[in-house]
Amino acid sequence: MKITRSKKMERKILDKIKEYLSHAPRSLDKWHVSDLLYPRKSVFQRLDPQPMTDLSALYFTAGRAHHGILEACLGPKKWENGKRVDAGEYEKDGIYFSPDLRMPYPWEIKTSRKEYDPLPQNELRDYEAYLKQLSQYQACMGDDRGGLLVFFLNMKERGVKWKKPAIRFYKVLMTKAERVAKLKWMKGMAAAMTAAQKKKNVKDLPLCPSWLCRECPWYKKCKPWLMDEARKGYQK
Ligand code: SF4
């Protein structure tokens, strides 16, 4: 038996993945909840669209596969006239939102490569990015309740040597005041992003999370180091 790595075939596979992922239907006339999480990147994507990188295509593939299985297992799967009506794109105050599941309150599904789940006292801090998204769905749906399902791919139980997949589920409760404040923040951010798009200038928008800058195709245009010096030198 002989085995030979084929870089040519790897290229073809990557191109096919990117072609498939680029076809995901998404409305572009308004901002989505996920756009508000990465304000500068989302505006750049509309002003100066760039093709998906190999790395982001592979990250998407891993995340979407797990998502797909969990949604299929857990979703209520309601069909009307041949169309799924328990999932999709909804709109609130001019912003699109698509929770992973409505049970009937929103659930967000995340995949994590971290080895440990946060200690109870650190959950709000360590899940901040996930909660920033889920809380927007709760605000849009006017529901205090939310569900956060985290699928850990390689978790080390504390005190155990080997790694294995594990799930964690969290009930997330917001107060009405928090929901109202979140909706107000969303509308303000969407307006700021629209203004930046019109002006073709993102300097008044907050930065995206720093890990995104390392692979960002607009890094040199954005100059995130002007607002956060630590981001200097992320790319050559
Ligand atoms: S460089 Fe960083 S802050 Fe600027 S658009 Fe890219 S990800 Fe966002």
Phi, psi angle pair for 166, to nearest 5°: -155, 155
DSSP letters along 98-130, please?
A: --SEESSSEEEEEEE--SSPPPGGGHHHHTHHH
125-146: pLDDT as tens digits: 999 999 999 999 999 999 999 9
- Determine the distance separating the centroid of ligand 1 and the alpha carbon of 14, expressed in angstroms: 24
Bridge-based pairing of strands 90-92 and 163-173 is unpaired
77-120: pLDDT as tens digits: 666 666 655 567 889 999 999 999 888 899 999 999 999 899 99
- Determine the distance separating the centroid of ligand 1 and the alpha carbon of 114, expressed in angstroms: 23
pLDDT on residue 79: 66
What is the model's pTM?
A: 0.89
Could you tell me the domains of the chain?
26-231 (3.90.320)
Pocket of ligand 1 from Cβ distances under 6 Å: 40-41, 44, 207-208, 212-213, 216, 218-219, 222, 224
pLDDT on residue 86: 59
- Determine the distance separating the centroid of ligand 1 and the alpha carbon of 223, expressed in angstroms: 8
